[in-house]
Amino acid sequence: MATMTTAVAAVPGAGPEVRGLARRVGALSPVLAVIALLLVPGGGGGAQGGTGGTGTVADAASGLLVLVCLVRVVRSGARPLTRTAAVVLGLPVLGVCLAAITSNDPGASLPGVARYVQIFVLVPAAVLLSVRDRRDFAVVAWALVGLGLLQGAVGVVQYLTGTGASYQGEDVRAVGTFGATDVMGMATVVAYGLVIATGLALGGTAGRTRTVSLACAGALFVPLVLSFSRGAWIATILTCALQLLLSGLRRAGRVALVAAALGVVLVGGLGIGSDMVKERVTSITQVTAAPDQSVTDRYTLWAAAGRMWRGEPLTGVGLKGFPAYRDSNASLALSSGSDTAGAGAAFARQPLLSPHNMYLLVLSEQGLVGLLALAGGWAALLVAAVRRRRLGADCALVAIGLLTWQLVDFFYADIGGPSTVLMSVVLGLAAWWSLAEVRRA
């Protein structure tokens, strides 16, 4: 089996390799289309929490991906998934359906069923079945890095020209093409790319591939900082630290020093968002001592989700039920919404329709059964990815990194908005490494 390096280091003009890469890209075109269409500005569904945010062109492409994969499976006549993969990927259906059936308004829960099945079952399964080997894995991984670089470039320009989303009265927040209503979109995309690039650089690849990976990671660091997304910062720092530790303690020490020096130069020396970054970092720890309103809203919503769960501990209040039960469970500290403006959008109040914590959202709407089913599948993927490290450090560090980043970020975010469908692609890519038959590199 060829290594990931071979897949991405084809020399221009090497006819057979170029044609082979073209065939792979063609076979993976439904997956790559979902990634590419996230460059389309706007995105439609906004940043609605929970199960909102559908109706984007990338969502439509994900539906086409599932359909194409279904046709391929039917034509092949082979069993598409192993028993383990079917159980792990199918677990969320149990909690979702049970929450919908026991909901006080089953009709209102049906769109939530469709959204959860799309994001956590169908699209990941389709990506898993579309990726055939390490070279396919490499093509999709580098496509994600490319998307991060393009969105990050737009974000940096927004910061430099004052055309980004509003932050502290200035239109400087880097949001890429996602707009002011989905401020986490660009941060998520850039963080995925940075984690992938870090995994490739640390995973044993050599020569040009490692150099390009390190360059991409450094380039993606800048827009990540300028996103002013505390959750993305925390998830990225913890994930990269884990990747470094898994790659070896000696290397971890060297890379940590280089990363710290890069941060000092970019933020301290060049002054990239230094004052705003310092204020944003400080606000992470200001929970009781004069927290800003966004922190107050976050913890108030978390408390409300906890009260909903205590009222319906097993099955929750029902899919898409959080907004309906929010006011009766939240304290008066909760504001009416968050302010959004800039990046081509007029000032608006964005309603707070979810707790901005995926685990608490699932716990409040689907209860303990739903949380165990959904989070249990994620944990199984992560454990399997770690156990397969010896089969290939590059793929392993990428898969472990993506899963870790998502699981950490879920403490500060939930599904909703145009970037959500990309998360399902990422889960599918990691699931291929965790669940598919993989040979030693």
pLDDT value, residue 43: 44
**345 beta partners:** 342
Token couple for 341? 């403006």
pLDDT value, residue 369: 95
pLDDT value, residue 207: 76
| C-alpha to C-alpha distance for 144 and 35, rounded to whole angstroms | 7
pLDDT value, residue 284: 59
Residue 205: what residue type? T
**73-105 tens-digit pLDDT:** 888 877 788 899 999 999 999 999 999 999 888
pLDDT value, residue 51: 47
Confidence of residue 6 (pLDDT cuts 50, 70, 90): very low
pLDDT value, residue 394: 86
Collect contacts of 341-344 with beta carbons under 8 A, ≥24 apart. 341/165, 341/166, 341/171, 341/180, 342/163, 342/164, 342/165, 342/166, 342/167, 342/171, 342/173, 342/180, 343/158, 343/163, 343/164, 343/165, 343/171, 343/173, 343/175, 343/179, 343/180, 344/163, 344/179, 344/180
- Asked if residue 315 lies in contact with residue 366, where contact means CB atoms within 8 angstroms, the answer is yes
pLDDT value, residue 280: 63
Model confidence at 64: pLDDT above 90: yes
Determine which of 34-38, 249-253, 423-427 has the lowest per-residue pLDDT on average.
249-253
pLDDT value, residue 4: 44
Region 306-317 average pLDDT = 94
Model confidence at 340: pLDDT above 80: no
pLDDT value, residue 261: 74
Task: Output 190 or 208, whichever has higher pLDDT.
Answer: 190
Confidence of residue 5 (pLDDT cuts 50, 70, 90): very low
**402-411 tens-digit pLDDT:** 999 999 999 9
Confidence of residue 273 (pLDDT cuts 50, 70, 90): low
Token couple for 121? 């079952």
**344-390 tens-digit pLDDT:** 676 677 778 889 999 999 999 999 999 999 999 999 999 999 999 88
pLDDT value, residue 334: 80
pLDDT value, residue 44: 41
Task: Output 87 or 210, whichever has higher pLDDT.
Answer: 87
pLDDT value, residue 278: 60
**409-435 tens-digit pLDDT:** 999 899 988 889 999 999 999 999 999
φ/ψ of 420, rounded to 5, equals -60, -40
Neighbours of 117 (CB within 10 A): 16
- Asked if residue 414 lies in contact with residue 49, where contact means CB atoms within 8 angstroms, the answer is yes
Say what percent of the chain tops pLDDT 70. 82
Token couple for 200? 């490739």
**137-169 tens-digit pLDDT:** 999 999 999 999 999 999 999 999 999 888 877
- Asked if residue 272 lies in contact with residue 262, where contact means CB atoms within 8 angstroms, the answer is no
Give first-to-last CA distance, the chain, whole Å.
6
**pLDDT, the chain, mean:** 84
- Asked if residue 224 lies in contact with residue 174, where contact means CB atoms within 8 angstroms, the answer is no
Model confidence at 231: pLDDT above 50: yes
pLDDT value, residue 174: 92
Non-local (6+) Cβ contacts of 46 within 8 A are 52, 53, 181, 182, 350, 416, 417
Model confidence at 13: pLDDT above 50: no
Confidence of residue 42 (pLDDT cuts 50, 70, 90): low
Determine which of 41-45, 92-96, 112-116 has the lowest per-residue pLDDT on average.
41-45
Region 268-288 average pLDDT = 58
